[in-house]
Amino acid sequence: MVEERKKPKVSIIGAGAVGIRYAYSLMIKGLARSIVILDKNQEKAQGEVMDLNHGMPYISPVEVTVGKNSNLAGSDLVVITAGAKQKPGQTRIDLIKENIQVFRSIIPGIMEYAADAIFLVVTNPVDVLSYATCRISGKSWHQVIGSGCVLDSARFRYLLSQHCRIDARNIHAYILGEHGDTEFPVWSRVMIGGILFDNYCPVCGRCKSPKLTRNSIFESVRDSAYKIIEKKGETSYGIGLALVRITQAILKDENAVLPVSTFVDGDYGIHDVYLSLPCVVNKLGIREVLNIVLDDEEISKLRHSAEAIKAVIRDSGL
């Protein structure tokens, strides 16, 4: 008798723009056979699920439903996109404290029904809330992943591809550290078709001023979210696809290297914080953190980023 193949189940906490763009992208990719969407606004979640289900004739079979905590049972992956939005007059720290309280109310329910699932945290500030999720849940850090700088690194690769006129899939480049203002590009490790960027740049000849070009590219990466939010109110498509990439690495047990947010306690002289480093991601979560070679300036920036995140963690009362 042939053993029935297990059908992957993904549960999404939060039916906002990010959660639904992710669900839509996940459906099209065909990675899951069951998608459960939970939101405190049941009516909105039901409307979103109805809309998604009407495209079912055009995709691989998948069951998309609205659920409650008990429906989390059997989840392989729980993706947390829920969180409060900043209110007028509310400080960033006030917002973080509010979202930590939201997580304190959400995570016990997830642990009751899906304690063995991998947790993927998306809500910002993602590094702080990934740390909070790990602390509140008591789960191994290997099983609590933040979306981190996966999208930032994709933006970096895209802008490099536009500048160099090279397919973005043939560019390897990372943004590391905080998913936020202190993130930084690892220029020393950028590779195009196996050639270090430092060696490729003179051959390419497209930079009249390489330093100014690099500064311009990184500033565009760092400020992308602000510009998108200013123009359309939120970012969702890029992060939706980035989450699908992380999901694929987990559900297909790929051992893919991705710059996700992970617990760091000793690497590069950094302790007790979540931030983005290249990690090997598979069905067990984070298999290992890769200690890639950074130059002295990059190590200094990584440590600065870690201190900025730790300061927020302290101020949040965690």
Q: Identify whether 142 is a catalytic site residue.
A: no
CB-CB contact of 60 with 30 (8 Å)? yes
Determine how β-strand 118-121 pairs with β-strand 144-146.
Answer: parallel
Kindly report the backbone phi and psi dihedral angles of residue 184, in degrees, each rounded to the nearest multiple of 5, phi listed first.
-150, 155
CA angle (70 as vertex; 65, 74 as ends), nearest 5? 75
Among the listed residues 122, 69, 99, 75, the one whose alpha carbon sits nearest the alpha carbon of residue 235? 122
Q: Which one from 142, 179, 271, 304 is the annotated catalytic residue? A: 179
Using CB atoms within 10 Å of the CB of residue 143, give its burial: 0 to 12 exposed, 13 to 18 middle, 19+ buried. middle
**Element containing residue 34 per DSSP (H, E):** strand 34-38
Residues recorded for the chain? 318
Rounded CA separation 281/300 (Å):
26
Quote the tokens at residue 136.
């509140």
Mention every residue, 6+ apart, whose C-beta is less than 8 A from residue 272: 264, 265, 310
Catalytic residues: 179
